[in-house]
Each structure stands twice: as C-alpha cells, then as structure tokens.
Amino acid sequence: MGIMWQPPETYLSKWAAEKKLSAEGFVSRFDETARNDLHITPEKLARIDQYCTVRDGKPVISEASFERLLNSFFLELTGPPIVKRAAPVLFRMLVYLSRYPFMPEQTGQKPEDDTYYHLTRSGLVRAVLIAHNDRARRTIAGYGGGHTRSRTASDHRRLLFQGLAVQRESDPPGYDENVWRTDAAERARKYYESISGEVYCPDNALTNRDEMGDELFHDVVDFMCQLLPDWADHTVRRQDLLGLAESLIQEEGLQRAPLQRYELRRADFEALVELLLLIYESPDEEERLSADFTERRDKIVEEFFGQNEGIDFKRFDEVSGSGRTGFDTGSAGGNFAEGDDYEPSLLEMLYWFLDELFKETEE
C-alpha cells in the first residue's frame, strides 16, 4: 500500500522544521548525488589528493595546484604556454560552479595569496557534475516528471558561460529588460517546441525569465526540485518552491548578478579554446602542435567575438549553438564511435578532461 497523499505544504513544513530545506541541507544532498552520479570512490580521488592541502579540516586545491594538475595531463611542450594561460580561466569556472547555486560566491579583489580562491575536493566533484552535460542529466536536467521543467542545451551553455565570465558592476549600454525577457523565453521554446511548431509547455519556456526573477533565480528552483529530501515519495510542484527559493536566497546571501551583467572576455575564451584544441591533439614530446593550430583557434574566437573584446550570453549562446564553430555540436561527450574522420566538439573535449580528473590512477 502506497504512502497516503498529503498536500505539499505538509511535508515542506516538516522538512523545514528538520532544517532539510536550508542551503546546507541542499548542498549535503548535492554532494551525495554528485558522488553517486560520478561513481566517486577513494581510488578515483587519488589523482586529486596529490594536489590537495588541508584547510579547515577539508582537502582543498589552490589555483597553483590546479595548474600543476593540468600540466600532469601533458608531456612538456616546446610550444606556447597554453596550460599556464588556461589554468586560471578553467579554475575560476570550477570555483564558480562549485558554489552554485546554494553557496555565496567568492567575491572581492583577488589577494596575492593564491589560496584565497580555492576548491574543496567535494566542491570540485559538484562543479564537474554541473559542467559535464552528460553526467548532469540526472541531477539538473529536470527528470522530475511533469512537476518540474527540463533543462535545455542553452541552459547548460549558460552555466559554463557564467563560470567563465566576469561580472560588470552595472547593466551594459543599451540594455532592455523586455528584450532580454523575450529572448530568454525564445531560447527555452527552442527546446519545448514540438514538431508541429506548437509550444506544448509554454509555462516552462517562460520560467527562463519572468516576474519572479531571471534565469539564475530559476536555477535555484530547478536544483531544489531535483534535490528535495524525499523526491521519490513526495512530489512537489515547481510553483510550491518559488517562495521558498526567494527566502533561501535572501537569508543565505545567495543573490547573484543578473545574467546581462556577465561578460566573457576574449583573452579568457581564447585561452580555453587553446586548451581544448590541445586536449584534442594531445601531442607528445616528439611532436609539435599542428601547423594550423593558431589559425583554427583564431577562426573560432573570431566567430564569437569579431573585433570585440567581450561578449554577453546572447552572443555566446547564438554562436555556440549554431554549429558553425564546432564548439558545441550537441553530441554526447566521449562518444568517438563515428570513425577516424569524426572530430569531436570542443565541449566534448572539456567533458573528456572532466572525466579524466576522476580516473583511477594506475599503480
């Protein structure tokens, strides 16, 4: 005999009284889910542990240690210092995602001590799960049935963009909220539109940006939907969590800059593209980078930026989702079964690298 149905407010109140709906409670369940979904074992943490120090009783990795970890994937190259350029960019993205969305950002001017910005080992596991589209499907892809919404390819690219970008102090010149709201709903409709062209889930499309908040607010709700204390037996509709999400953001200091204030810098993106191209080529010490390496890098960066030094998410999403650059083809990460002529997207190279972070070390 199944559990007798009760209205959502009954068990939401019970969970709140038990402190299970606090930010700490959600992070704890996120940790457990991430470990399970990535099949984390002590053996898989062995590579990471070599680069960790203990801080406040927790294993952490600094930016300098992360750079050494990156270098461990490559034999010494005589070409450009690609890893040194890319390490701070990738590290910043992982730090951002490790605290998203239930922990405040690490903000302020970066001090000389590079241990200020750091990743806890558990935070790295969470960040990898978010950044790896294929691994994140169970946790944040909206598999909660009809009471939640599905995440789109654009949503995933946005999370990566937020981690890679820097934040403006104010809205960019020419910003129009109505335009951003319309564009946000349109991005979601690209996913929810049926073959006939009819939007069969318009409410979910509109939740990208509505009167409740922008995309970053709805991320909090999405994560909450998937990380409830008893997801299997107690179905909570998405709208039942909106007020709770608002309170959680205010009480826990989880406010983040609105999406229009995020800007991806050309130099940072160029460094990331170089690294992902390097991962694809994987030259050993007897080889040099391909002769057209710089040309390929510049072509990709030019497609995104033109002559600009910074771009917003709308530009990033439009180009990366277009397939014009091979940055994101939408195919499954690590799937190289198409034959010798198959060239994976750059995001697939990112997913491969993230998988390799937790590969068991060989004795």
**pLDDT averaged over every residue in the chain:** 82
Question: By percentage, how much of the chain surpasses pLDDT 90?
Answer: 42
Q: What is the pLDDT of residue 334?
A: 40
Whole-Å CA distances, 156 to 49, 63, 85, 111, 312: 28, 24, 24, 31, 15
Q: Which residue has the higher pLDDT, 97 or 335?
A: 97
By three-state DSSP, how is residue 119 classified? strand
Q: What is the pLDDT of residue 106?
A: 80
Q: DSSP H helical segments within 115-169, as ranges?
A: 121-131, 137-140, 153-164
Q: What is the pLDDT of residue 307?
A: 93
For residue 174, give both structure tokens: 């020419």
What distance in Å separates the CA atoms of residue 143 and residue 134, rounded to the nearest whole number?
13
What distance in Å separates the CA atoms of residue 231 and residue 289, rounded to the nearest whole number?
49
* pLDDT category of residue 90 using cuts at 50, 70 and 90: very high
What distance in Å separates the CA atoms of residue 202 and residue 210, rounded to the nearest whole number?
12
Nearest one of 360, 358, 362 to 38, comparing CA atoms: 358
Give the model confidence (pLDDT) of 239-249 as tens digits: 888 999 999 99
Nearest one of 321, 134, 349, 171 to 257, comparing CA atoms: 171
The answer on pLDDT for 176 being more than 70 is: yes
What distance in Å separates the CA atoms of residue 231 and residue 357, rounded to the nearest whole number?
30
Q: What is the pTM of this model?
A: 0.88
Q: What is the pLDDT of residue 124?
A: 96
Query: Do 126 and 103 contact (CB within 8 A), yes or no?
Result: no
Give the model confidence (pLDDT) of 155-170 as tens digits: 889 999 999 999 999 9
For residue 14, give both structure tokens: 């019970």
Sequence spans of domains, the chain: 8-260, 264-347
Residue for token pair 């978010």? 130
Give the model confidence (pLDDT) of 129-156 as tens digits: 999 987 776 666 654 455 667 777 888 8
What distance in Å separates the CA atoms of residue 361 and residue 45, rounded to the nearest whole number?
9
* pLDDT category of residue 333 using cuts at 50, 70 and 90: very low
Q: Burial level of 226, CB count in 10 A (0-12/13-18/19+)?
A: buried
The answer on pLDDT for 1 being more than 50 is: no
For residue 223, give both structure tokens: 């994560």
Q: What is the pLDDT of residue 233?
A: 58
Give the model confidence (pLDDT) of 52-62 as tens digits: 999 888 899 99
Q: What is the pLDDT of residue 234?
A: 58
DSSP string across 82-112: HHHHHHHHHHHHHHHHHTTTTS----SPPPS
The answer on pLDDT for 224 being more than 50 is: yes
Strands (E), the chain: 53-55, 58-62, 118-120, 166-167, 262-265, 310-311
Q: What is the pLDDT of residue 291?
A: 80
Give the model confidence (pLDDT) of 270-296 as tens digits: 999 999 998 887 655 445 677 888 999
Q: What is the pLDDT of residue 260?
A: 95
What distance in Å separates the CA atoms of residue 206 and residue 208, rounded to the nearest whole number?
5
* pLDDT category of residue 6 using cuts at 50, 70 and 90: low
